[in-house]
Structure 1
Amino acid sequence: MKSVSIKSIVFVIIVAIATVLLAVKMYPEEKAIVVKPLKKSYKAGVVFTFDDNYIEDWYVADLLLHPYGWKATFFVTWYGSLTPEQKTKLHYLKDNGHDIAAHGYNHLNALKYYKQFGMKKYIKDDILTLKSAMAKDGFDVHSFAYPDGARDSTLDNELLNYFSIIRGTTYEEIPPQSQYCYYEGKRVVYGLGIDDDYKQFNIPYYKSLMDYAKKHNKIVIFYGHKTVPDADEKLETPLSALEELCKYAKNKGLKFYTIDDLAKL
C-alpha cells in the first residue's frame, strides 16, 4: 500500500507539471508591469525666509514687494514679548499669503541647550511653549528654523516630530552647483544668508544661484533677518537688494515658495 501511495503521488505531480507547461504554451505569461512611483514635479523657484521678531520691518518690506507677487516665510521668536499690534501685523502677513513659522520661544541655541539640560527640557522650554502660545493667537506653525543655525541629526530627528520641515543654514560664496541652499525633496533644508554683513553678500552671486535653479529646475532658499532701507548693522537685509532679487526672480519666471510649500511638494 505504501509503494502504491508513493506512485500515486508521483503521478499526480507529473500531471500537475504537464498541465502547467501546457497552460504556459497556450497562454504565454505576459511581462509583469512595474509601476514606478511618480516623481512629483515642481516649478523652479525661490524661497525667501526671515528670522527673529522684526515684524514692523517685514510689514514695510511686504508693502514694497507685494507688486512682485513675492511670498516669504517669517520665523518668529521671543513671541512672549510681542505687542498686540505686532501680532496684528503677523496676521496681515499671513493673510497676504506668507508663512508664519517657529524660531524658538526664547531663541535658544538648540545644540548647546539640549546637550546641557537634555532634549526633553529643550522641547518643553523652546518648542512646545512657542507652539502653544502661537496657536492661541491663531498661528498653527508647521516649520522651524534653528537659531544661529545650531543643529545636529539628533535634533533634526526629534524636531521632525513637531514640524513638517526644518531649515538650517549654509554659508560661503561657492560655485552654484556645489551649494547646499536648494530644496532636494527632504524635510531638512538649508538657506543661504542675504544679510549684508555676511561674507557671501553679493547680488550677482545670488542671481547666479537663481539662474542655476532655473536651468536645473531647482528651488533656491535664502534667509535674512531685519529688512531695512539702509543696512548699517549686523543681521540686516537691504530692501534695495531684496527688491532687486524679487524683480530678477519674477523676470526669470521663478515661482515664489514658502517653506510650508516645500513640505507639500
Structure 2
Amino acid sequence: MKNLFSKKTAAILLITIIALVVVFKMYSEEKTVAKPVKKAYPPGVVFTFDDDYIDDWYNAEKLLHPLGWKATFFVCWYGSLSRDQKDKLHYLQDMGHDIAGHGYNHLNALKYSKEFGIEKYINDDIVPLKAAMKKDGFNIHSFAYPDGARDTDLDKELLNHFDIIRGTTYDEIPAAQQYCYYEGNRLVYGLGIDDDYKQFNIPYYKTLLDYAKAHDKIVIFYGHKTVENADEKLETPLYALEELCKYAKEKGLKFYTIDDLAKL
C-alpha cells in the first residue's frame, strides 16, 4: 500500500513537472515573438545648413543635384527674406530638400530662456517662425539650436513643437567615439564642416562615412554658407561638400534629411 502511494505521488509529481515545463516554454516563446524588433535602415549621411544663406544654398543645389544629394536647410530671420529668396526655398523643397526652423530672430535659446523663461523664448522665437513659414507654405517639422545652445528643459519643450531637434558637437575624435550619428532619438547632434572649425578635415570626415557604412550608422553634418571660396567664418567650401557627396555616393551611402530621420 505504501509502495502504491509512493508510485502515485511520483507519477503526479512527474506530470506536474512536465506541465510546468510546457507552460514555461510556451510563455518564453510568446515573449520572444512579442518582443519588438529594431528596424534596420540603410547607412547614410545627413547634410544640414543653418541661417539665411538661401542664394548660396540654391547655388549648391545646382552644383550637387546630379549627385542626387539631399540636405536640410534650417532657416532664421525669415521676416527679412525677399520674395526671390522665398521662391528659392520653395525650389529647394521641390527638389526634395527639407526646409526647417532655426529661430525667427536666431535667439540663443539657452541665454534667452535663462533670462526671460522658456515660455517667452517659445513665444518670441518659435511661434512667430512657424506661423510665418506656414503662411508661405513651409510646414516645418524640425529645428536646429542657434549656436548649439541647449539644455534638457529646452529639449523637452521644443519637442512639443517639432518632431526632431538638432544640437552640435565638435572636435576630431575617433569615429567610434563621435556623437554625430543618428541613434534613434529625437535629439540629434551634427558635426560642423565649415572650414574655420578646428575639426575641418576632409579625410577625417571620410573616416566617419566609412564608419557609418561599416556599422549601419547615419552621419550628421552641419554647415552654414556654401561658397566657392571660403575666406570668412561659417563658410562651407563647395569643393569639400562636393567631395564628401561623391565619396558618400561611391560608398553606397543614402542621403537623408532630418525629417527622414524622424520617420525612421
TM-score using structure 1 length: 0.90
CA distance in 2, matches of 1:139, 1:253: 31
2:66 aligns to what SS in structure 1? Answer: helix
CA distance in 1, matches of 2:80, 2:112: 21
Q: 1:115 to 1:38 in 2, by over 3 A?
A: same
CA distance in 1, matches of 2:40, 2:67: 24
Find the counterpart in structure 2 of residue 122 from structure 1. Answer: 121
Q: Does 1:105 align with 2:115?
A: no
Find the counterpart in structure 2 of residue 12 from structure 1. Answer: none
Find the counterpart in structure 2 of residue 55 from structure 1. Answer: 54
Once the two structures are TM-superposed, the CA of residue 95 in structure 1 deviates from its matched residue by: 0.5
CA distance in 1, matches of 2:217, 2:198: 24
CA distance in 1, matches of 2:230, 2:22: 74
Find the counterpart in structure 1 of residue 191 from structure 2. Answer: 192
AA aligned opposite 1:175: P
Q: 1:28 to 1:207 in 2, by over 3 A?
A: closer
Once the two structures are TM-superposed, the CA of residue 31 in structure 1 deviates from its matched residue by: 1.3
Find the counterpart in structure 2 of residue 232 from structure 1. Answer: 231
Aligned ranges 1:154-169 → 2 under 5 Å: 154-169=153-168
Aligned ranges 1:1-265 → 2 under 5 Å: 29=23, 31-32=26-27, 33-34=30-31, 35-265=34-264
Question: Deviation digits for residues 74-128 of structure 1, max 9, x if unmatched?
Answer: 0000000001100000000000000000000000000000110111110000000
AA aligned opposite 2:45: V
Find the counterpart in structure 1 of residue 4 from structure 2. Answer: none
Q: Percent identity?
A: 75
1:126 aligns to what SS in structure 2? Answer: helix
CA distance in 2, matches of 1:206, 1:52: 22
Question: Deviation digits for residues 128-182 of structure 1, max 9, x if unmatched?
Answer: 0000000000000000000000000010000000000000000000000110000
AA aligned opposite 2:87: T
CA distance in 2, matches of 1:136, 1:63: 27
CA distance in 1, matches of 2:212, 2:22: 49
> Which 10-residue stretch deviates more, 30-39 or 54-63?
30-39
CA distance in 1, matches of 2:40, 2:155: 26
Once the two structures are TM-superposed, the CA of residue 50 in structure 1 deviates from its matched residue by: 0.1
CA distance in 2, matches of 1:60, 1:195: 17
RMSD over aligned Cα, in angstroms? 1.7
For structure 1, the 5+ residue unaligned runs are 1-17
CA distance in 2, matches of 1:102, 1:40: 28
2:134 aligns to what SS in structure 1? Answer: helix
2:166 aligns to what SS in structure 1? Answer: strand
Once the two structures are TM-superposed, the CA of residue 28 in structure 1 deviates from its matched residue by: 5.1
CA distance in 2, matches of 1:133, 1:155: 22
1:97 aligns to what SS in structure 2? Answer: coil
1:31 aligns to what SS in structure 2? Answer: helix
CA distance in 1, matches of 2:193, 2:226: 10
Q: 1:31 to 1:175 in 2, by over 3 A?
A: same
Which protein has the larger Cα radius of gyration, Structure 1 or Structure 2?
1
CA distance in 2, matches of 1:127, 1:243: 33
AA aligned opposite 1:187: R
Once the two structures are TM-superposed, the CA of residue 38 in structure 1 deviates from its matched residue by: 1.7
CA distance in 2, matches of 1:259, 1:28: 48
CA distance in 2, matches of 1:41, 1:220: 15
CA distance in 2, matches of 1:31, 1:80: 62
Once the two structures are TM-superposed, the CA of residue 40 in structure 1 deviates from its matched residue by: 1.0
TM-score using structure 2 length: 0.90
